[in-house]
Amino acid sequence: MTLLNQREVAALLGLSPRTLERYRCTGFGPRYHKLGRRVLYRSADIDTWIASRLRTSTSDGGRTNA
């Protein structure tokens, strides 16, 4: 299992570390682990989150009929 820290994930996604912090507070971002004071992300969870952001058009809000 590969674990990445906040700085590594932010660089991978092209986001700032602060944006990832906001995503954690709102529940919008990828799943993460909190080990003591450290926040770590599994690479599989990053891949899943990226896949969940897939859109087919600019008007696609990402909503499903579930």
**pLDDT at res. 66:** 39
**pLDDT at res. 60:** 72
Single pTM value for the model: 0.81
Query: Residue 3: which residues within 8 A CB-CB, separation 6 or more?
Result: 33, 40, 41, 42, 43
The full set of domain ranges for the chain reads 3-52
Q: How far is CA 40 from CA 13, 49, 56, 57, in A?
A: 15, 15, 30, 32
Per-residue model confidence as pLDDT tens digits over 8-65: 999 999 999 999 999 999 999 999 999 999 999 999 999 999 999 998 888 877 655 4
Across the chain, mean pLDDT equals: 91
**pLDDT at res. 63:** 56
